[in-house]
């Protein structure tokens, strides 16, 4: 699943190129996770003013309203001056004066949703429950620690939930917890202030490094240029079960938490 770094890398790869483009046509294929929410023809003539990100959502600001895009489990975007005819898994084309933005999504868990504004009910339903942006200025340590103190669940599960801090998916939660030296099974409410500070800093560092590396390509992720990411090549624990820890040499262990694989070092992450 594309996580926050992959979504941010995707945004960076086409945001400047589509800014100022006027929409000429909207082509909708098979139904996605949620309906578009408007007649596609009503978007024709509107202008894309900017592209932002909130968690794992891309927000295409229009001169009237906005489009919220989610890549789901297997989605990816392409943006180019010209596109071949839509293939089996191409489900949404935004044709503009500066190129075509295409959503390809084999599993169709992604979505494109129109909203009249960021405070409109359609947008609020998707965005209102999201936690702090980990790469933004509002990732406040005191608020973060207070949020952890309210949760009985394991810290790994709390990070994945997205209501305390948004966008820390499975890969990067394992990596951040390793960097902070915290066992993924530890109850979130048991994390002290100093450890919360280490974890916040680790989350920032891991996500920023992943963005710089173009994200992680485990199966088929690529940005809007069609380029793969390389963060997975330097992962400390993720997908390395049985391999030696890069710090202490102990075997990396894998367990299941909420049906998701968790990777950690039993020596470097004692508690």
**CA dist 171 → 1, 25, 43, 109, 168 (Å):** 10, 37, 36, 19, 8
**CA dist 252 → 49, 148, 183, 245 (Å):** 46, 26, 12, 6
DSSP-based three-state secondary structure for 109:
coil
Task: Identify the CA nearest to 255 among candidates 186, 209, 165.
Answer: 186
Burial status of residue 30 (CB atoms within 10 A of its CB: 0-12, 13-18, 19 or more): exposed
Domain presence at residue 146: yes
CA distance 219 to 203: 23
Contact criterion met (CB below 8 Å) for 6 and 172 = no
Contact criterion met (CB below 8 Å) for 27 and 92 = yes
Do 24 and 92 sit in the same domain of this protein?
Answer: yes
Query: Among this protein's residues, is 190 annotated catalytic?
Result: no
CA distance 116 to 95: 20
Do 38 and 118 sit in the same domain of this protein?
Answer: yes
CA distance 174 to 154: 12
Give the residue from 95, 127, 159 where a domain finishes. Answer: 127
Give the range of the structural domain holding residue 192, as residue numbers without chain letter. 141-265
Give the residue from 82, 102, 127 where a domain finishes. Answer: 127
Domain presence at residue 133: no
Do 145 and 91 sit in the same domain of this protein?
Answer: no
Q: Name every residue whose Cβ is closer than 8 Å to that of residue 219 and which is 6 or more positions away in sequence.
A: 74
Over the stretch 45-65, which tens digit does the pLDDT of each residue have? 999 999 999 999 999 999 999
pTM: 0.89
Do 184 and 246 sit in the same domain of this protein?
Answer: yes
Over the stretch 216-267, which tens digit does the pLDDT of each residue have? 644 454 544 555 444 667 889 999 999 999 999 999 999 999 889 999 999 9
Q: Report the relative pairing of strands 260-265 and 23-28 from DSSP bridges.
A: unpaired
Query: Among this protein's residues, is 35 annotated catalytic?
Result: no
- Rounded to an integer, the average pLDDT of 174-180 is 96
Residue 148 is predicted with a pLDDT of 98
Q: Name every residue whose Cβ is closer than 8 Å to that of residue 233 and which is 6 or more positions away in sequence.
A: none
Catalytic residue among 3, 6, 122, 175: 3
Do 50 and 107 sit in the same domain of this protein?
Answer: yes
Residue 40 is predicted with a pLDDT of 97
Do 213 and 178 sit in the same domain of this protein?
Answer: yes
Query: Among this protein's residues, is 234 annotated catalytic?
Result: no
Question: What is the number of domains present in the chain?
Answer: 2
Give the residue from 98, 127, 156 where a domain finishes. Answer: 127
Residue 234 is predicted with a pLDDT of 81
Q: In the 3-class helix/strand/coil scheme, how is 116-174 assigned residue by residue? A: CCCCCHHHHHHHCCCCECCCCCCCCHHHHHHHHHCCCCEHHHHHHHCCCECCCCHHHHH
Catalytic residue among 46, 56, 102, 183: 56
Over the stretch 88-134, which tens digit does the pLDDT of each residue have? 999 999 999 999 999 999 999 999 999 999 999 999 999 999 999 99
Query: Among this protein's residues, is 2 annotated catalytic?
Result: yes
């Amino acid at each position: 699943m594309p996580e926050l770094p992959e979504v941010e890398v995707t945004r960076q790869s086409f945001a400047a190129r589509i800014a100022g483009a006027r929409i000429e046509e909207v082509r909708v294929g098979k139904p996605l996770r949620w309906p578009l929410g408007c007649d596609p023809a009503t978007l024709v003539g509107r202008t894309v003013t900017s592209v932002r990100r909130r968690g794992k959502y891309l927000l295409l600001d229009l001169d009237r309203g906005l489009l919220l895009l989610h890549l789901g489990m297997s989605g990816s975007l392409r943006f180019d001056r010209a596109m071949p005819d839509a293939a089996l898994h191409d489900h949404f084309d935004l044709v503009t004066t500066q190129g075509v933005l295409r959503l390809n999504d084999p599993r169709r868990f992604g979505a494109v949703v129109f909203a009249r504004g960021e405070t409109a009910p359609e947008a609020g339903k998707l965005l209102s429950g999201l936690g702090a942006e980990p790469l933004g200025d509002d990732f406040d340590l005191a608020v973060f620690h207070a949020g952890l103190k309210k949760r009985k669940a394991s810290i790994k599960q709390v990070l994945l939930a997205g209501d305390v801090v948004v966008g820390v998916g499975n890969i990067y939660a394992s990596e951040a917890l390793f960097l902070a030296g915290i066992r993924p099974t530890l109850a979130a409410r048991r994390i002290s202030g100093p450890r919360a500070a280490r974890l916040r800093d680790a989350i920032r560092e891991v996500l920023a490094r992943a963005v710089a590396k173009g994200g992680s390509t485990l199966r088929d992720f690529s940005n809007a240029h069609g380029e793969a990411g390389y963060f997975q090549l330097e992962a400390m624990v993720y997908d390395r079960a049985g391999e030696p820890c890069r710090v202490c040499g102990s075997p990396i262990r894998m367990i299941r938490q909420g049906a998701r694989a968790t990777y950690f070092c039993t020596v470097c992450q004692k508690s």
